[in-house]
C-alpha cells in the first residue's frame, strides 16, 4: 500500500511514479509542449508570470488583463493537443470517481520561478478535484486555509509525487515558494514541470 500524507486535506502520495513511469509521462508532455509551446501569461495587473505555461485537453488555462479563464485554443490559434494517456492513467488511479479531466495545465518552472498562494476556482464544478503531478526538480509546496492569511504548512514535492486537492480542501490556498535547482536530472535543460488536471465544465 502506498504511503499518503495529509496536508490540511490535500492528499500527497510521495513517489507515486517510478523513474520509468516518469520518463514515459515526460515524453508525452514534451510532445505536447512542442505542439503547443509554453508561454508566460500576464496577470490582471499586466505582470508576466515567472512560470511558463501551456495545456493539453479540450481547454487550456489562460490569463491576461481581462482576467483568469479557460480557452479552447492556444495563443497561436490552434487547438490544444490531447492529454497523453500516461497522464490520464494517473488521474484514474487517484480520482477514480471523478469525471474525466478536460484540461491538463502544464507549468514549467525554470530557475527562480515560483507560484504565489492562490485558489483554483475558475472551474464550474468545484466538487471535482484537481490532481497535481510533479516532475523534475524538488519544489516547496505550501498550503494555507480556505481564507487568505493565517498559518500555513509546507512539504517538499519530489519528482514522481502526486497530490489531490479535493473535497473539503478543494479551495485551500496553495503555492510553490521555491524550486531546488539541480535536484533532478529528469527535465532536459533542468527545472520542474508540474501538471494539474482539472474538470472545467
d(CA 95, CA 75): 30
**70 annotated ligand-binding residue:** yes
Q: Cell numbers for 180, please give them.
A: 531546488
Establish whether 192 is an annotated binding residue. yes
From residue 197, give the alpha-carbon distance in Å to each of 59, 135, 182. Answer: 11, 14, 26
195 is in an annotated binding site: yes
Q: Is 83 within any annotated ligand binding site?
A: no
Q: Is 44 annotated as a binding residue?
A: no
The answer to whether residues 55 and 105 touch, using CB atoms and an 8 Å cutoff, is yes
99 labeled part of a ligand binding site: no
Q: Is 198 annotated as a binding residue?
A: yes
For residues 57 and 36, what is the distance between their CA atoms, to the nearest angstrom?
11
Could you give the dihedral angle defined by the CA atoms of residues 148, 154, 156 and 161, in that order, rounded to the nearest 10 degrees?
Answer: -70
- The answer to whether 61 is a known ligand-binding residue is yes
Q: Is 109 annotated as a binding residue?
A: yes
- Ligand-binding annotation for 69, yes or no, is yes
Q: Does the annotation place 137 within a ligand binding site?
A: no
Give the angle 16-12-168 at the CA atoms, nearest 5°: 140
As annotated, the binding site for 2-oxoglutarate includes: 107-109, 192-198
As annotated, the binding site includes: 61, 68-70, 107-109, 118, 120, 122, 148, 174, 192-198
As annotated, the binding site for Fe cation includes: 118, 120, 174
As annotated, the binding site for substrate includes: 61, 68-70, 122, 148
Amino acid at each position: 500500500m502506498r504511503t499518503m500524507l495529509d496536508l490540511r486535506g490535500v492528499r500527497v502520495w510521495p513517489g507515486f511514479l517510478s523513474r520509468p513511469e516518469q520518463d514515459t509521462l515526460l515524453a508525452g508532455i514534451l510532445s505536447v509542449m512542442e505542439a503547443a509551446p509554453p508561454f508566460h501569461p500576464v496577470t490582471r495587473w499586466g505582470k508576466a508570470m515567472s512560470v511558463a505555461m501551456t495545456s493539453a485537453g479540450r481547454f487550456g488555462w489562460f490569463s491576461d488583463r481581462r482576467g483568469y479563464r479557460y480557452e479552447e485554443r492556444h495563443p497561436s490559434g490552434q487547438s490544444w493537443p490531447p492529454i497523453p494517456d500516461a497522464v490520464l492513467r494517473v488521474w484514474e488511479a487517484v480520482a477514480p470517481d471523478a469525471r474525466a479531466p478536460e484540461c491538463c495545465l502544464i507549468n514549467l518552472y525554470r530557475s527562480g520561478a515560483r507560484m504565489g498562494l492562490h485558489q483554483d476556482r475558475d472551474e464550474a464544478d468545484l466538487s471535482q478535484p484537481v490532481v497535481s503531478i510533479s516532475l523534475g526538480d524538488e519544489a516547496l509546496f505550501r498550503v494555507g486555509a480556505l481564507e487568505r492569511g493565517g498559518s500555513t504548512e509546507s512539504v517538499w514535492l519530489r519528482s514522481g509525487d502526486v497530490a489531490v486537492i479535493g473535497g473539503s480542501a478543494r479551495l485551500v490556498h496553495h503555492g510553490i515558494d521555491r524550486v531546488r535547482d539541480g535536484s533532478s536530472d529528469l527535465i532536459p535543460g533542468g527545472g520542474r514541470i508540474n501538471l494539474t488536471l482539472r474538470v472545467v465544465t
